[in-house]
Structure 1
Amino acid sequence: MNNKKEINLQIGNEIRIARERAGLTQQQFGELVSLGTKNVSAIERGISGITVSTLKRICEKLSISSDTILFGDKELNDVAYIAEKLERLPPEQFQAVSDFLNHIFKMVAHMEK
């Protein structure tokens, strides 16, 4: 029973970290993954576990790997974290982000002149 509690704490903490990295409140995150705010809070505190289908929704909506939730991303630096998120985007979303970044890079290049 204690192992189950520990795993819930670890997973809940990783979900909180991923949610905060995405810049989402618990309410916004809950709406995104079809959970109530109280459920999100309970999961993040390790009081409640999550189902595989909830894990899948979280990973899809945050564009992260389930390994990140299950094992953390301690070995990833910020560039690797962003690259992982980009790899998981559907093609049309990836193209939109790519276009946006290219626009930013052009702006920065013009600022340097």
Structure 2
Amino acid sequence: MKRINNKAVGRRIKERRMELGYTQEQLSELCGISTSYLGHIERGARTISVNMLYTLSEVLNMSTDEILFDSFTTDDSLLVHVSAVLEKCDDEKKKQFFYNSVKTLASQIDEL
């Protein structure tokens, strides 16, 4: 059974918030909570409720597994996340990215 590390959960939430360019005030408003409560969550001082976990996953476009354990579920969340990142790139950059990724993974396959 996996144990939940509140500090790691808070760090992942903060990292994603910053990735998306949200301030604590903006994210707390989107989630319907106080900035103080969000600060407690991000520092790992509070355990988040199931309802808040769901709300954060929706607002931050992350799976609950990604928030709790830094891993993806077998659903489409990985594809959604990758698609969102790649939407900003032109087709040639996407091709180069995939080529480099496959090449790197292939060279490391024996170590997995």
TM-score (norm 2): 0.61
Q: Partner residue of 1:13?
A: 11
Q: Partner residue of 1:38?
A: 36
Q: Partner residue of 2:67?
A: 69
SS of match in other structure, 1:24: coil
Q: Displacement of 1:8 after TM fit?
A: 1.1
Q: Which moved more, 1:6-15 or 1:55-64?
A: 6-15
Letter of the structure 2 residue corresponding to residue 84 of structure 1: V
Picking from 3, 22, 25, the partner of 2:23 is 25
**Residue ranges of structure 1 left out of the alignment (5+ in a row):** 74-79, 88-96, 106-113
State, as a whole percentage, how many aligned pairs show the same letter: 31
Check if 1:85 corresponds to 2:81.
yes
Alpha-carbon distance between aligned partners in 1 of 2:56 and 2:82, rounded to the nearest angstrom: 16
Q: Displacement of 1:35 after TM fit?
A: 1.1
TM-score (norm 1): 0.60
CA RMSD of aligned residues (A): 3.2
Alpha-carbon distance between aligned partners in 2 of 1:48 and 1:54, rounded to the nearest angstrom: 12
**Residue ranges of structure 2 left out of the alignment (5+ in a row):** 72-76, 91-112
List structure 1 runs of 4+ shifted beyond 2 angstroms. 83-87
Q: Partner residue of 1:49?
A: 47
